[in-house]
Amino acid sequence: MKTTINLGYIIFLSVVAALGGFLFGYDTAVISGTIAQVTHLFQLDTLQQGWYVGCALIGSIVGVLFSGILSDSIGRKRTMILSAILFSTSAIGCTFCIDFNQLVVYRIIGGIGIGVVSIVSPLYISEVSVAQFRGRMVSLYQLAVTVGFLGAYLVNYQLLAYSESGNHLPIAWLEKIVVTEVWRGMLGMETLPAVIFFIIIFFIPESPRWLILKGQERKATYILEKIYNSFKEADFQLSETKSVLVSETRSEWSILLKPGILKAVIIGVCIAILGQFMGVNAVLYYGPSIFENAGLSGGDSLFYQVLVGLVNTLTTILALLIIDKVGRKKLIYYGVSGMVVSLILIGSYFLFGNAWNISSLFLLAFFLCYVFCCAISICAVIFVLLSEMYPTKIRGLAMSIAGFALWIGTYLIGQLTPWMLQNLTPAGTFFLFAIMCVPYMLIVWKLVPETTGKSLEEIERYWTRSER
């Protein structure tokens, strides 16, 4: 069957959808370079500063809540178009906002775009991919997220350097955006990829599985023929999907409450929220300040942030290449084990580093090791698993529930990390993250099936017969 697959076409569809992941990463990370400037310009107190950072996460939670239902009702493609509009509106609005309240509103709009795309992009990729390449294709989304992080760090660095170079621009509004209030340019640069994403979505088809669900079999067959280069294989895939849908005669919520499917949803929620309490976003969001507190130069904090982003991106590329060969579960076993060791080493450094006169560069090395282990395991696997675990008829709804848990976890860890660093000490915080890795590993070991190489219909049948 491999010889008949139109892999180039599948890659094209996946890359287009993965551009949403780039916007996700950029929108999430760009905020780090604007906090000090926005705080100074609008004279924000600590609560307002926290609201500026956290308001996009609130938007993400809102976006996740309706994105699955929306993608199930109007289609994956139209939902991606909506996310592109939200990102564009946010970027342009942040660039030209006149006060802090407007800035927050536009950041929330961007956050809604993040929530929507975090569900619909990996969902679309999983539905247009073939079983033996699905892990790699969905991992393109996570790769795009890490590239978005890195892109935001680099844009922030370059724009800040230009604004401090003494150069001036003849156009007043451009001077304001790029020089005097450069944070506007940092946020506004998202407009370019958002518009590209909006335009290029029109060149991809709707998900064939969604079309089958809506009774548009002729369109679905045409797309499947382009994917498989074979009418016979397209007809087989059509029959496979229809055979599963025939058994799903009940409403979406009743399907969601079927014992096997409910088990899959609960497992998805658990691994989504637990993944956040293993320190992933705590390291990405607060790494620079942790480095400074440990004795590394504050002037070099942006360099270390770029270095973390670079390791994250390169490791995700490695994960993309091996996920369909090694398997989802093995990557988690190896990666999470490495995360536990790295977190213990980081905690131990904070306990004994000063007393033993250990160079703070060791801390940087431990952090990079942690980022490597994290990127090659839970970061690479989570969206793959969530996009392939659920039945076609409720895939969007079930992913929204798991995605909601993920964003709640992200918001909580963003709010709680400063408190934990202060009250549990840095050592206690990282030891706690190491402990949280254990239930994650147990859930994957005991409750999650290996999905590598299996069709979405085969995975669906596993869950519906796993509970009597």
Regarding predicted confidence, which is higher, 152 or 453? 152
Question: Identity (one letter) of the amino acid at 76?
Answer: R
Looking at the fold, whether 354 and 439 belong to one and the same domain comes out as: yes
Model pLDDT for residues 88-135, shown as the tens digit of each residue: 999 999 999 999 999 999 999 999 999 999 889 998 998 898 878 888
Regarding predicted confidence, which is higher, 344 or 451? 344
Crossing angle for the helix pair 361-375 and 378-388, to the nearest 10 degrees: 20
Virtual torsion, Cα 169, 170, 172, 177, nearest 10 deg: -20
Confidence at residue 289, expressed as pLDDT on a 0 to 100 scale = 64
Looking at the fold, whether 165 and 302 belong to one and the same domain comes out as: no
Residue with tokens 């904070």: 350
Least confident of 1-10, 107-116, 212-221: 1-10
Looking at the fold, whether 124 and 264 belong to one and the same domain comes out as: no
Looking at the fold, whether 392 and 456 belong to one and the same domain comes out as: yes
- Whether 255 is in a domain gets the answer yes
Confidence at residue 59, expressed as pLDDT on a 0 to 100 scale = 92
Model pLDDT for residues 177-187, shown as the tens digit of each residue: 887 888 899 99
Confidence at residue 297, expressed as pLDDT on a 0 to 100 scale = 53
Question: Identity (one letter) of the amino acid at 60?
Answer: S
Looking at the fold, whether 175 and 264 belong to one and the same domain comes out as: no
- Whether 228 is in a domain gets the answer no
- Whether 224 is in a domain gets the answer no
Looking at the fold, whether 278 and 193 belong to one and the same domain comes out as: no
What CATH number should be reported for the domain holding residue 301? 1.20.1250.20
Assess whether pLDDT exceeds 50 at residue 2: no
Structural domain total, the chain: 2
Looking at the fold, whether 299 and 358 belong to one and the same domain comes out as: yes
Token pair in block for residue 167: 């150069």
Confidence at residue 272, expressed as pLDDT on a 0 to 100 scale = 87
Looking at the fold, whether 184 and 295 belong to one and the same domain comes out as: no
- Whether 213 is in a domain gets the answer no
Confidence at residue 294, expressed as pLDDT on a 0 to 100 scale = 67
Confidence at residue 285, expressed as pLDDT on a 0 to 100 scale = 64
pLDDT-derived band at 467 (thresholds 50, 70, 90) equals very low
Looking at the fold, whether 53 and 163 belong to one and the same domain comes out as: yes
Looking at the fold, whether 298 and 149 belong to one and the same domain comes out as: no
Looking at the fold, whether 270 and 172 belong to one and the same domain comes out as: no
Taking alpha carbons only, the member of 99, 150, 135 closest to residue 10 is: 135
Looking at the fold, whether 300 and 165 belong to one and the same domain comes out as: no
| Residue 339 exposure: Cα atoms within 13 Å on the Cβ side | 31
Assess whether pLDDT exceeds 80 at residue 305: no
Model pLDDT for residues 246-300, shown as the tens digit of each residue: 554 444 667 777 788 888 889 989 988 888 889 877 776 666 667 766 666 544 6
Model pLDDT for residues 53-63, shown as the tens digit of each residue: 778 888 998 99
Assess whether pLDDT exceeds 80 at residue 332: yes
Sign of the Cα torsion 167, 171, 173, 177 reads: negative
Question: Identity (one letter) of the amino acid at 364?
Answer: L
Confidence at residue 142, expressed as pLDDT on a 0 to 100 scale = 85
User: Which range of residues forms the domain containing residue 317?
Assistant: 250-467
- Whether 292 is in a domain gets the answer yes
- Whether 270 is in a domain gets the answer yes
Regarding predicted confidence, which is higher, 77 or 132? 77
- Whether 209 is in a domain gets the answer no
pLDDT-derived band at 234 (thresholds 50, 70, 90) equals confident
- 3-state SS, the chain, equals CHHHCCHHHHHHHHHHHHHHHHHHHHHHHHHHHCHHHHHHHHCCCHHHHHHHHHHHHHHHHHHHHHHHHHHHHHCHHHHHHHHHHHHHHHHHHHHHCCCHHHHHHHHHHHHHHHHHHHHHHHHHHHHHCCHHHHHHHHHHHHHHHHHHHHHHHHHHHHHHHHHCCCCCCCCHHHHHHHHHCHHHHHHHCCHHHHHHHHHHHCCCCCCHHHHHHCCCHHHHHHHHHHHHCCHHHHHHHHHHHHHHHHCCCCCHHHHHCCHHHHHHHHHHHHHHHHHHCCCHHHHHHHHHHHHHHCCCCHHHHHHHHHHHHHHHHHHHHHHHHHHHHHCHHHHHHHHHHHHHHHHHHHHHHHHHCCCCCCCCHHHHHHHHHHHHHHHCCHHHHHHHHHHHCCCHHHHHHHHHHHHHHHHHHHHHHHHHHHHHHHHCHHHHHHHHHHHHHHHHHHHHHHHCCCCCCCCHHHHHHHHHHHCC
Confidence at residue 138, expressed as pLDDT on a 0 to 100 scale = 85
- Whether 109 is in a domain gets the answer yes
Q: Tell me the average pLDDT across 361-379.
A: 89
Taking alpha carbons only, the member of 374, 386, 361 closest to residue 309 is: 374
Least confident of 227-231, 295-299, 332-336, 401-405: 295-299
